[in-house]
Chain A
């Protein structure tokens, strides 16, 4: 919402406050606005934890509120949690909204009504913020929870094998402790919005009577906040309403003999009110490959001009397939629906064999599934088999303090040969092969409070970002330079070859020369007989790494979740053991403490 559109009636501010704010904002340039926005958000965040939540509990001391716990990686679960809170409060219910990372497990004993919103990432792992609680619930210290009512909503991506695993774990663990499931768990896919809303209504319907009864009995007051959780980027442009931004630069930044094709992308945010902070992500919508779409229409003998409906929208089949539906990232749901819609027995059999289905979609894009299974199917039926095309999220590789109204990304082109054809990733293929400089792409910024530079400029930071994991650290370095931050910066980077794959080499050299980067350690895995990775470099420098942690350094990891982040984690454990004189459990505790202090943060995918 734009400030000029605000009026006192629609905001929590008095008329006078609002005038002051409008006056101030009128004087600020977009960069200053972004800063103020971030500043206020940070202040409000800490207030929310210490003050607002405290108020809620204080007001409902004897009677338990509706406790909403969220564990979020990219912000989706947090968004859903905010929605739950808003809906509950609209019903006059007292709520307590807490990030799992900030939740004291000892409080579990006092809970009566628990709603969990949690995502899953990687190989069925909990988001970082949820790790501690996830583990605690399975442990010996977990209290009995008889009489507690629980409702769990999971967020995930069905193209991953362990879809919504963390939500399943939470529900099962709470149930094992005696909590009663009052509404069936929702396992929501990437296009979760509509289903989330329906589930929330259902869950609150189930919880409301008991909550109300208890609150009336306890005489608790309903505390209704006018706002949901504070938002940093109060942009009018969102996932649902993205901004059509101009693509200004698409530049390959790996050498001509590289096995990888990595693009540096610059997008102009001019004309939008989108702001972001280092650590945030950018959601990017893309168009499917028109040639692949034509091939699908052709193989199914459909008419591309045939109109179809997607929700409220009526468009041609071709438009639907290019602009609105997911056709690259495959997931079990598609195969299941397509098997039924086409009466394909082979596919139906496959859909019933989880492992086989997983293997099948692993090596196929949705394009492939359709092309390899031609059938008589109506255009609308095909559309109904598909889920909505989801924006891809990329860690932002720039700081607005440096690039102002631009946003930069570091995008690895996903490409592979299979079934005799070249295949490309949906969004990376679009950006690298089809979008041209000047093309408008629909984008929105996605806040990630779990990946933030230390507020204190004097705090040293260690950044581990091999491959495209370098992206947010480029943003961090730009930001630290703009802030004149005196804290030391240490970067670990790796990729296959020095000559071909040293992303942003010239910039990194410049930062070393200027002194911004105190150390850089590089691991080029294929430049020698034995492979060397960032975790090996970390171990080599273990003593200094531990010394940095001891003096308060923040430790960041960005990049591959399935292997690198785990290997780096293990390297950290080893370093803490070796140089801190600790055993395994103490080392884990050490890292947990770092995490609780927001000093060990990951942005992995």
Chain B
């Protein structure tokens, strides 16, 4: 189906006008816009009009230092515009020589000097000024990295469980993640043309994504149970690996997860993915392609707040969606195969894979790799990259795995890691199971602090746990600056979603495995309200819980909040 045939479906308001994003995609000449002209505009450090949105399809967001925005207004200076770049790293695997290149760029050419590991299993540069953007892409290209389609209305970086133990299964799953990523990439050559001085080519058709791309962002994972580190229910499309005697045989396909919502709009809600059934490996790319194509054609292009796959499923029904995918892909889903998620956290420290290689997972608070006063994390990572023969894996929990270390190299790598604070036994379980999105000062959507606030909040929660004599235990705690979902607070046992400076909505009732959506407990409150409330709840949990009952399960069993079973009806009830 070509672009011109895409109409708002009859189930949607046919008289309504497409959102402005649809106009800008259709007028963008396949994501080119006038980005090249903006690059030569000396007057501003930002991108103008449509290009502001279009650079997202090339993996960049225009941001500014919000801390100093009012000050710069007085100085008659424009906001300190810069871009954040999110690399495309399927499965989060990055090689040592690539690491060295990004380490140097982060130090020399970014405002913050850091490498950021993100919940999308990749790294981000924050604070790149316009004159450095082209050079950045060219540098990345020289080491085999790009940032195509890591943002915007496209299929974004494909996640893959990092599980280093079952090394063969991981290798297969990773290869599928990379293949799916390639298969669903935009076909336009705009990226190479604009950033790599590539040859100007004719406008390309977009057979899979469509000439106006997808109605909304689209996220895909390949997951190896029982670890749900990628949080399948935060993603539009998930391939849950089904193995037979350690060999990958196919996937259960989960569609329609997503956590974003809008404050005050009850038509928006976080939603778990539905299991469409099992597919053998040979259908993988076709199913990926046609889940995307059905969402492309059925997704709402009028109202962006109702455009994600999760709403398409609720509008048309999961069965109808599944039937259309089968129809287009020329296959039938088999009944789901059994699998179980038990946890989401990373296994810190050394583990040995079945291939005899060793893997060291290190905790990176907030995913921020920088040389801190007494913790030169960035230097440590660089020194490891200088001698490491395996690879690095960035986890969906913003941590780092130094993977594929031969037995004889373990000691040296461990020594570097210890010397640079990458191994730090002081971190509590609570800290390692807490997460935040980037938020202020760079994210334009942020309403409240998240990353900068998390360390302090964790300390306060640690104190509560200690007070109730469960200091060794933990509650999955996530803080986000806005309700758009980056930090996956809507799959936490205790989730805080920013509403305004110092004010959060507090959600309770997610579980350890990440298979339950939490529910609103306190609205628009500050620490003065939510810390005493948490204190009381932790006290109750410790004295009344069943054996091994986690906090999230406890609050559901005691009906402190109602369980969210069907998001559309239960979440706002």
- Residues of A at the B interface (CB closer than 8 Å) are 251-256, 264, 498-500, 502-509, 512, 520-522, 527-528
Contact = CB atoms under 8 A, between A and B. Distances in A.
A255 B44 contact: no
B68 interface: yes
28 contacts: A251-B74, A252-B75, A253-B77, A255-B68, A255-B75, A255-B77, A256-B68, A256-B71, A264-B76, A498-B129, A499-B45, A499-B80, A500-B77, A505-B76, A505-B77, A505-B78, A506-B76, A506-B77, A506-B78, A507-B76, A509-B44, A512-B43, A520-B42, A521-B42, A522-B42, A522-B43, A527-B131, A528-B131
A253 B76 CA distance: 6
Contacts, number: 48
B72 interface: yes
A512 B74 CA distance: 20
A557 to B, nearest CB: 20
Contacts of A253: 75-77
Interface in B538-564: none
Nearest to A249: B74
A-B interface, 6 closest residue pairs, ranked by CB to CB distance from nearest: A522-B42, A253-B75, A506-B76, A505-B77, A253-B76, A504-B76
Contacts of A251: 74-76
Interface in B28-76: 42-45, 68, 71-72, 74-76
Nearest to B80: A499
A487 to B, nearest CB: 21
A502 B45 CA distance: 11
Contacts of B71: 256
Contacts of B72: 255
Contact of A508 (B43, B68, B74): B43
Given A252-B75, A253-B77, 5 more contacts: A251-B75, A255-B80, A504-B76, A512-B43, A522-B42
Contacts of B76: 251, 253, 264, 503-507
A333 B488 CA distance: 74
A498 B74 contact: no
A506 B79 CA distance: 10
Interface of B: 42-45, 68, 71-72, 74-78, 80, 129, 131
Looking at B45, B71, B75, the one whose CB has the most chain A CB atoms below 10 A away is B75
B572 to A, nearest CB: 42
A252 B74 CA distance: 8
Contacts of B45: 498-499
A541 to B, nearest CB: 12
A153 B180 CA distance: 86
B42 A499 contact: no
A512 B43 CA distance: 9
Contact of B129 (A254, A499, A504, A520): A499
Contacts of B129: 498-499
Contacts of A521: 42
B235 to A, nearest CB: 37
A508 B74 CA distance: 15
A12 B45 CA distance: 59
B71 to A, nearest CB: 7
Contacts of A508: 43
Nearest to B82: A499
Nearest to B67: A256
A503 B74 CA distance: 12
A186 B291 CA distance: 92
A264 B75 CA distance: 9
Nearest to A517: B43
Contacts of B78: 505-506, 509
Contacts of B74: 251
Contacts of B131: 498, 527-528
A538 to B, nearest CB: 15
A157 B45 CA distance: 42
A254 B75 contact: yes
Nearest to A520: B43
B415 to A, nearest CB: 37
Nearest to A509: B43
Nearest to B68: A256
A258 to B, nearest CB: 9
Contacts of B44: 509
Q: Which of A252, A499, A509, A512 is packed against the most chain B CB atoms within 10 Å?
A: A499
A255 B64 CA distance: 14
A256 B131 CA distance: 20
Nearest to A504: B76
A534 to B, nearest CB: 13
Contacts of B42: 498, 520-522
Contacts of B68: 255-256
A506 B80 CA distance: 12
Nearest to A264: B76
B291 to A, nearest CB: 43
A498 B45 CA distance: 8
Contacts of A254: 75
A579 B44 CA distance: 31
Nearest to A522: B42
A458 B131 CA distance: 36
Nearest to B43: A509
A520 B43 CA distance: 8
A188 B56 CA distance: 65
Which one of B43, B45, B72 has the greatest number of beta carbons of chain A within 10 Å?
B43
A255 B76 CA distance: 9
Contacts of B75: 251-255
A520 B41 CA distance: 10
A528 B80 CA distance: 18
Nearest to B111: A499
Contacts of B77: 253, 255, 499-500, 502, 505-506
Nearest to A513: B43
A528 B78 CA distance: 21
A500 B65 CA distance: 13
A255 B45 CA distance: 14
A229 B342 CA distance: 95
A527 B131 CA distance: 9
Choose among A252, A254, A256, A504 the residue with the greatest number of B CB atoms under 10 Å from its CB: A256
A337 to B, nearest CB: 43
B552 to A, nearest CB: 44
B537 to A, nearest CB: 43
Nearest to B129: A499
A512 B129 CA distance: 22
B526 to A, nearest CB: 29
A251 B73 CA distance: 11
A199 to B, nearest CB: 46
Contacts of A512: 43
A524 to B, nearest CB: 8
A127 B317 CA distance: 84
A500 B45 CA distance: 11
Contacts of A503: 76
Nearest to A506: B76
A271 to B, nearest CB: 27
A521 B43 CA distance: 9
Contacts of A264: 76
B129 to A, nearest CB: 7
A74 B154 CA distance: 64
A503 B43 CA distance: 11
Contacts of A500: 77
A352 to B, nearest CB: 49
B441 to A, nearest CB: 13
A499 B65 CA distance: 12
B407 to A, nearest CB: 46
A507 B76 CA distance: 7
Contacts of A527: 131
A346 to B, nearest CB: 46
Contacts of B43: 505, 508-509, 512, 520, 522
A68 to B, nearest CB: 45
A164 B80 CA distance: 46
Contacts of A498: 42, 45, 129, 131
A527 B135 CA distance: 14
Nearest to A502: B77
